[in-house]
Structure formats: C-alpha cells, structure tokens
Amino acid sequence: MEEIHDVSDELEIKVKKYQRGEAADLEWLMQTEEGRLEAEGLEKTWRFNQQAIASEVDVASRKNQFDLVLPDLGPYTLDYTSSGRYMLSAGRKGHLSIIDLHTLKPIKDMQVRETVRDVVFLHNELFFAAAQKKYTYIYNREGTELHCLKEHGAVLKLQFLKNHFLLSSINKLGQLHYQDITTGQMIGNYRSGLGRTDVLQLNPYNSVLTSGHSGGTVSMWKPTSPSPLVKMLCHRGPVTAIAFHPNGHLMATAGMDKKLKIWDLRKYEAIQTLPGLAKSLDFSQKGMLATSTGSFVQVLATSDSQDYSRYMIHTMPKGYQINKVLFRPYEDVLGIGHSSGLSSILIPGSGEPNFDSWVANPYETAKQRREKEVRVLLDKLPPESIMLDPTQIGNLRTSRKKEKPTKEEIEAEKAAAVAAVKNVSLKKKTKGRSKPSKMARKKQEGIEQAKRSFVEQNEDGVMKKKQKRITETSELPVALQPFVSRKAT
C-alpha cells in the first residue's frame, strides 16, 4: 500500500513539474461562460425570434439589437475591428461611417460621393481602407485621406492580413494585390486568370487568401507565389461566398448551384453539403455559420455531432437585400448590412465570451492601443511566412531533387567523377600488362570516359530539341520529311 502511495505522490510531483507549477485556474481567467439557446421538448431553437430573445437578455445585450435605417445610400457593407468595439460601415453610394458600439455613437460619418465597394479596418480603429470607384484609399478615423492606392485598380474586395500588415485586394480584372501598409511596398501582384470576382476571404489560421470564381473553383493564394497554392472545384456554378472557421480547418462555400458546402481543409473534402443559396457567409468565433439570401438570414451551428444544422433564422422586412453578414467578435452579435441600412441581431453563443487583452481588448485605452501598435509592429511577420501549413516553419526542408542540375553542379560532378577515376589504383596484372605506359594509358582512358559521359549528357539535351523539331514535321510522309526546309515551318 505504501509503495502505491509513494508512486502516486511521485506522479503528482511530476505532474506539477510538467505543468510548471500549479495548473492555471481557468475559473479566474475565463470568468464568463458561453451561453446558447437550448430547446426543450418539441421546441426548436430557430423558432425563437429576436423579440423573444430581447425580453430575456440584460440591458447591455439588448443594446446590441438595433436597426439603422439608411435607405438612400444603398446596400451597406461592414467591418468590425478585431476587438469588436468599432464598426465600420460603407454604403455603396459613398457613405462611410465608424460607430463606437459601446456608446453607439458615430465617431465619423462622411460622404465620399463615389461608389464604395468594400471597406476594411487596418490594424486598429484609427485607419481603414475603402475600395472606391477607381482607386482604393486609406483614411484615418477623422476621415482624412492618407493614401491613394492607385496600383490596386478598381478593387472589388479588400482583406487585411493583420499579422503581416498586408492589405490585399482583388480588382475588376481579377488581379490580386498584396501591399505592405507599413512600408508601402507592393509585395505581390498576381493575375488570377479566372475572371472577375468579388469573392475573397482570408483564412485566419494561415493567412492564405481564398478567392471564389465563376467556374465554380476556389483558389488559395499566398503573396510569394504567382500560382495558386490550391485550386478546388467546389461548385458546378459560380462561387458566391466563402467563409473560414477560426481554427482554419473548415471552409464553407456557397455557389449558384444552390448548394452550401462545408469543407475539411486538411483533406480537401466536402464534409457536408447543404441545400440553398447564400450571398454572404460568415463563421463566428465559436464556429457558427451565418448565411444570407435575399432578406433572409440563417445561422447554422453544430451540436455534439460534426454536422451543421439550422440554429437560428432571422428575416428582414421584404425587399431588403442583405449584402453582408458578419459576426461581431467577443459578442453574441451578428451584423447585417443590407440595401436600406444596417442591422444587428443577437445570436446567443456565437461569440467568444472571454477576451484576452493581449490579443484584442474591447476596452482598450489610447495608451494601450499605442503600445499594442508598437508591439504588433515588432511582431510583424514577413510575407513569406504565409503558407498552407504554418507549422512547417522551422522544420526540416523536404529535399526535392531539382529538374535540371545547374552548370556549376554539372561541373562539380564531372570533376568528382574524374577525380574518382584518377584515384583508382589499378590491379597488378601479369608480366608486361602492367607496364607503366599501359597503366598510364588505361588511366587516361578512364578519365576520358568519365568526361565523355558528361559531354553526352549535354548532347542529349541538344538531341532532344532536334527531335522535337522533327516530330513537328512528322505529319508528312516519311520519305519526304528529310526534304522539309526549316524556313517553311
């Protein structure tokens, strides 16, 4: 018995050691728990409407339910800061506004009198980029135009890679641009070659950009390669929307073929196919998926099983066309940008209840913000660190043989071969056969042979080219082929 006791004690000590002291008290760190709508009996979670929820929640949460009716400047798009405190909204006809969602007061409200196709916050609420009719502009919070990014062209969709400080865009010509906003340097400018699209989404896990195209394909891009990393055929019609789960393993795509697919990006397989159209998709921090069609919003969620099923629905008044749905970080709120304004509804259990002030702090002071800016800049990642599997960084490089050895390598190989032949000690043979002169000649022959093999290699290449040219003309009858002049072809 005692022995057993000792063993258990030792184990405890070891556990403590590997935990590096006492285990973290999660109760203190994660003070609030996430809630969720739970149906009892015959109830269905999607039967609860916003009014029903509003009557149950506290005042602070009720504040998050609102409709902003802005019918004039037409369909609105929106973006939240990473802390979820500020909302940036842009009307198609040039209305830009930043709203502090804690006080629900507009910080800046302005008109650019130009089509605004997309807006995105940069690293904090002080700066944002707007894709306007001709160019993309960067404004500060006061609405001062700081930069005009002409190189991007007429941008349809913007995305900001906050860890790399890259502003990426896809323009009318289907060109992808990556621009470093700290240095202003254009990191990448690639032609997708798949036509015009306004479907562009960032994978938050590995910062790979994903674009959906009219051919039903989805392609993933990184700033250091001109060809897509992955190209998938997801739908039989054009892709209308893409969204990524925060853990980076799940991707949801919607197409014109009336299908909504959820993909496992580790296997590149669709794990679930749902019927229905979706013009806009978004995953929440807790993995809920919002879809919108027309004036109808649907939120899907997983229960214990992996499959996504309907969790909540919300219908806007008839005639409202929803442009974009976006979950607000660290809140159980879904923002909706539609043709006549902005709406915000409560989706219980969608947001992360506990924020990490080192990552994103909704209650950030100006000083904290400044300090964070510096810290984030110091931690800025180089663009080449974007790759499909970021865990590969620091690992051993997989050695792949090159298609063609370089000239120097061939030279080195040749020298090595010659040296090997030179160093071979010849066998002593019968009298007369191992005369010094014969030995020398043999050695010389060996060297020549070693060299010749390399020469032949070179000639091989030349020969191949020649053969190619002849095969082109091989349509003629065999007997006539030798008389074909090169000029004629």
Partner 1 sequence: MAETKRKTNRAPAKRNKKGKDNKWNKGPHLPNSLKKELDSLNPRDISDEEMQSDDDIDVYEYEEKVPDEELKKNRSIGLMDDEDVASDDEDGEDEGKKGASDEDDEDGDEDDGGDDDDDEKHARMLQDITGLPGDAFDGKKKKNNDVVFEAYPESEYNPSRDVLDGDGRITIDDLLNPLHGKSGFSKIRKDVQRIDKKSKSVLPPLPKPQQEKIDRKSTYVYSKKKLTEYEPLVKKNREAPTIFFDEDIDVGYSTVGAIASEFRPRTEFEKKMDLLINAKELSDAHKSDGARLLELNKVSAEDVKERQDRLAKMRSLLFRHELKSKRVKHIKSKTYRRLLKKDKSKAGSIDTEMDPEAAKELAEKQEFKRAEERMTLKHKNTSKWAKRIKKRGFDVQDDGTRAAISEQLQQHALLTRKRNSMHDGETSSDDSMDDDDEDISGDEDDASKLKLLEKGKKRTLEVLEEDDDVPKSGLLSLPFMVRGQKKKKEAADEEARLALEEFDSSLKQLEGDDDVKNKNIGSLGGRKVFGAQKKQVSQSKIKVNNKDNYFDNSDSEDDGDITEDVKDKHDRINTQKDVTIDTNILREESEVGHDPLFKVSFDDISKDSGPKIEYDVSLVHTNTSKKKRDNKKHSNRVESGKKAKVMKPEVVEPAAKVMKSKVAEPASNKDVDIEHGDDDSDTDGEIRMVDGVITSGTDYELPSQDDLIKRAFAGDEVEDDFEKAKQEVLNEEIPEPEKPVLLPGWGQWTRIQKKRGLPSWMLAEHERAKKKRDEELKKRPDSHLKHVIISQKLDKKAEKLQTKVLPYPFKSKEHFEQSNRMPLGPEFNPATTIGLLNRPEVVKKPGVSIKPIKLKK
How many Å from the N-terminal Cα to the C-terminal Cα in the chain?
95
Candidates 2, 3, 20, 60: give the one binding partner 1 (CB under 8 A): 20
Candidates 63, 108, 147, 231: give the one binding partner 1 (CB under 8 A): 231
DSSP labels, 165-204:
TEEEEEETT-EEEEEETTT--EEEEEE--S----EEEE-T
277 binds partner 1 (CB under 8 A): yes
Candidates 147, 196, 249, 443: give the one binding partner 1 (CB under 8 A): 196
Who's near 100: CB < 8 A, 6+ residues apart? Answer: 85, 86, 106, 107
Return the ∠ at Cα 476 (arms to 470 and 479), rounded to 5°. Answer: 90
Report the distance separating Cα 121 and Cα 159, nearest Å: 9
Phi, psi of 425 (to 5 degrees): -90, 125
Token pair for 286: 């807790």
H/E stretch holding 302 reads strand 296-302
Q: Do 110 and 391 meet the contact criterion of CB atoms below 8 Å apart?
A: no
Of 58-66, 215-223, 365-373, 433-441, the window that binds partner 1 (rule: CB under 8 A) is 215-223
Query: Which residues are paired to 209 by β-bridges?
Result: 202, 221
298 binds partner 1 (CB under 8 A): no
Q: Do 80 and 328 meet the contact criterion of CB atoms below 8 Å apart?
A: yes
Nearer to partner 1, 367 or 400 (CB): 400
| Conformation bin of residue 164: beta by default, left when phi > 0, alpha when psi is -120 to 50 | alpha
Place of tokens 């992808």: 176
Nearer to partner 1, 4 or 396 (CB): 396
163 binds partner 1 (CB under 8 A): no
380 binds partner 1 (CB under 8 A): no
407 binds partner 1 (CB under 8 A): no
133 binds partner 1 (CB under 8 A): yes
Report the distance separating Cα 485 and Cα 483, nearest Å: 6
Candidates 55, 365, 391, 489: give the one binding partner 1 (CB under 8 A): 391
393 binds partner 1 (CB under 8 A): yes
Smallest gap, in angstroms, from Cβ of residue 169 to partner 1?
Answer: 16
Smallest gap, in angstroms, from Cβ of residue 229 to partner 1?
Answer: 5
Candidates 148, 230, 359, 415: give the one binding partner 1 (CB under 8 A): 230
Token pair for 368: 């904290």
Candidates 103, 185, 225, 303: give the one binding partner 1 (CB under 8 A): 225
Of 43-51, 80-88, 396-404, 411-419, the window that binds partner 1 (rule: CB under 8 A) is 396-404
227 binds partner 1 (CB under 8 A): yes
Query: Which residues are paired to 166 by β-bridges?
Result: 161, 180
Q: 217 in helix, strand or coil? A: strand
481 binds partner 1 (CB under 8 A): yes
Nearer to partner 1, 304 or 379 (CB): 379
Report the distance separating Cα 203 and Cα 182, nearest Å: 21
Candidates 61, 115, 272, 302: give the one binding partner 1 (CB under 8 A): 115
Nearer to partner 1, 234 or 346 (CB): 234
Which residues in this chain contact partner 1 in the complex, by CB under 8 A?
A: 20-21, 74, 92-93, 114-115, 117, 133, 196, 198, 214-217, 222, 224-225, 227-234, 236-238, 255-258, 268-269, 277, 319, 321, 384-385, 387, 391-397, 400, 464, 467-468, 470-471, 473-474, 478-479, 481-482
